[in-house]
Amino acid sequence: MAYEITAACVNCFACMDVCPSGAIREAKPHFLIDAAKCTHCEGDFADPQCASICPVEMAILNEFGEAANPQGSLTGIPLERLQALAAAGIL
Amino acid sequence: MELKVLGPAKPSEDGCSKGSCGSTDDQMAHLPEHIRERVKNHPCYSEEAHHHYARMHVAVAPACNIQCNYCNRKYDCANESRPGVVSELLTPDQAVKKTLAVAATIPQMTVLGIAGPGDPLANPSRTFDTFRQLSDKAPDIKLCVSTNGLTLPDHVEELVKHNIDHVTITINCVDPEVGARIYPWIFWKNRRIRGVKAAKILIAQQQKGLEMLVERGVLVKVNSVLIPGVNDEHLKEVSRIVKEKGAFLHNVMPLIAEEEHGTYYGVMGQRSPSQSELTALQDACGDMNMMRHCRQCRADAVGLLGEDRGQEFTLDKIDAMEIDYDAAMAKRAEIHQAIEASRDAQRAAQTAKSATAPASGLPKGLRSVYMAVASSGQGVVNQHFGHAKEFLVYEASPEGARFIGHRKTDQYCAGDTTCGDAETALQRTIRVLDGCEVVLCSKIGIEPWGHLEDAGILPNGEHAMEPIEEAVMAVYREMFQTGQLAPPAFENRSA
């Protein structure tokens, strides 16, 4: 399975610019990865490039369908804090 | 940490020792003529110019290569005004079209900047494509760029090639331990790097970029975000180092952190600095040329610094505009000439006055007074109290009037009731004017007059159309003559 972009994507172009396989394209409502072209960056880089630059948690799924950057992993905001804010309707 | 300093450290005798340490006209006086010429119509690089000239940002650079704890990349709100926020991302072609439309409609526009919403140099093809087209099609517009500095050394040659001679680098720290509390990660050499290691790389790149730009004669402004408890004390060292390396101007801005922005700092309850903390830090940065008139604008702002006319230039609106840029350029040159003539006249009048009446003529040691001024530009008191979206704050003292900063009346969000409490606009205005004893405006209604007086702020509409600093000093003199500047009654300090 290839990497995949979710609805959390903010369309910032960062992944498209660094993808070595030209697998990412601008699309509405969010960018998309062409599964046929995605190589997980194997042979090119140690880490998948899209997942290494993406600024938004939960926006990219890896080949196992798991979030490459789970909640809290990029901002360092504790999960409980995020959940409390979501419950209060603030975020 | 010890940082290498390129070239001989300059003695600080060329700095400013008097109160007026804004990037004011006065402050500019010690600069070589060719540099004054380069900044005199740049609203961000010259405090005096920002009363007369406008700028715009085009949002062509969405990608970023670092994360800052005060930024949330998910944000997009038409009512928000702060860095990193935009409503409409543009392609380089759209950005060029928009720039030409704005330049033709707002002839005071002198500067086109690319500032995001990500990092312009993390979007080199979109950024440089825009610059390339504009230097060809709008040669009378100054181009500038703002960057986090991570890839700056790689792009210095290209910046110089496009004649971009104003570059802003955001430098929040020179110590990686401090940096690790501001930047959770960077994208570097194809990997996401975290913590102190990431901050160390970022700082090294920023300093190297600064040195390379200064070597090539590019004017560098350094932006720093003041984060209480994180880098507040540290920024004095930052200021000293960037000055030694030849940065032209230092802009220390207050952190903006609200829970609803979803930034790390906002969510984690990091507080923003107060105006007095900000002023104290700016004053403590010694003789570095400090910028105090920054409005922390959006990455797609349009107009004079205090205003945002972006809504007049949305893509559908500019599509309908017919632009004859050659004609517009001729008109712009004419208007700029008129602005310069009026500035020269204002300056000459001031010089003549100060020659006949040295200093303020007031006894030393009088207490200083903060005054708020409603101005829509040209450096004069010319705005109705009720129309002011912001007030310029001046400190009057026997040494003269000095610009302290601005206060926005509609806060970062002027949206609906879900955005905050149900405070009336007037109550909010009175609250933001806290600490000011006088408000100068061209006119004011009877009702707000009463409320302001009740709050201890004296409205004054008697100096309409007068140059701001003269008006401020005239009111200060009146206050002295009517005994309002007497020292406060002795307070028991034994407690």
Q: What is the pLDDT of residues A7-47, one digit of tens each?
A: 999 999 999 999 999 999 999 999 999 999 999 999 999 99
Among the partner-chain residues A49, A56, A76, the one whose CB lies closest to the CB of B73 is A56
Are B278 and B409 contained in the same domain? no
What are the chain A neighbours of B59 within 8 Å (beta carbons)?
Answer: none
B332 domain residue, yes or no: no
Residue finishing a domain among B319, B346, B369:
B319
Are B233 and B374 contained in the same domain? no
What are the chain B neighbours of A45 within 8 Å (beta carbons)?
Answer: 190
Q: What is the DSSP letter of B438?
A: E
Binary contact (B190, A49; C-beta < 8 A): yes
B330 domain residue, yes or no: no
Residue finishing a domain among B303, B319, B335:
B319
Query: φ and ψ at B176, to 5 degrees?
Result: -60, -30
Question: What is the average per-residue pLDDT within A69-84?
Answer: 92
CATH number of the domain at B146, please: 3.20.20.70
The pLDDT of residue B210 is 97
Binary contact (A52, B63; C-beta < 8 A): no
Are B432 and B384 contained in the same domain? yes
The pLDDT of residue B28 is 61
Q: Which domain holds residue B437?
A: 358-414+423-481
* Spatial distance between the Cα atoms of B96 and B94, rounded to a whole number of angstroms: 5
Parallel/antiparallel/unpaired status of strands B458-460 and B438-440: parallel
Kindly identify which residue of chain A lies nearest to residue B190, measuring between CA atoms: A49
Q: Give the DSSP letter string of B464-491.
A: TTSBHHHHHHHHHHHHHHTTTTSPPPP-
Are B184 and B68 contained in the same domain? yes
Winning range, highest mean pLDDT, from B29-33, B36-40, B171-175, B330-334:
B171-175
* Spatial distance between the Cα atoms of B269 and B375, rounded to a whole number of angstroms: 35
Instruction: State whether residue A50 is helix, strand or coil.
Output: helix
ipTM summary value: 0.96
Among the partner-chain residues A46, A53, A91, the one whose CB lies closest to the CB of B262 is A91
Binary contact (A13, B123; C-beta < 8 A): yes
Are B43 and B157 contained in the same domain? yes
Residue B189 pLDDT > 60: yes
Residue B18 pLDDT > 50: no
Q: pLDDT-derived band of residue B81, with 50, 70 and 90 as boundaries? A: low
Interhelix angle for B152-161 vs B124-137, to 10°? 20
Parallel/antiparallel/unpaired status of strands B302-303 and B54-57: antiparallel
The pLDDT of residue B80 is 60
Q: Is B188 on the interface with A (CB under 8 A)?
A: no
Q: Encoding tokens for residue A37?
A: 């072209």
- Specify the CATH number for A1-91; select among 3.30.429.10, 3.20.20.60, 3.30.70.20, 3.40.190.10: 3.30.70.20
Residue B3 pLDDT > 80: no
Are B36 and B108 contained in the same domain? yes
Q: Is B122 on the interface with A (CB under 8 A)?
A: yes
Are B204 and B252 contained in the same domain? yes
Phi/psi-derived region of residue B194, left when phi > 0, alpha when psi is between -120 and 50, beta in every other case: beta
Q: What is the DSSP letter of B121?
A: G
Q: What percent of chain A has pLDDT over 90?
A: 87
B9 domain residue, yes or no: no
Q: How far is A36 from chain B (nearest CA, A)?
A: 22
Binary contact (A46, B123; C-beta < 8 A): no
CB B107 within 8 A of CB B332: yes
Are B182 and B315 contained in the same domain? yes
Are B162 and B283 contained in the same domain? yes
Binary contact (A81, B187; C-beta < 8 A): no
Are B188 and B72 contained in the same domain? yes
Q: Is B466 on the interface with A (CB under 8 A)?
A: no
B97 domain residue, yes or no: yes
Number of domains in chain B: 2
CATH number of the domain at B465, please: 3.30.420.130
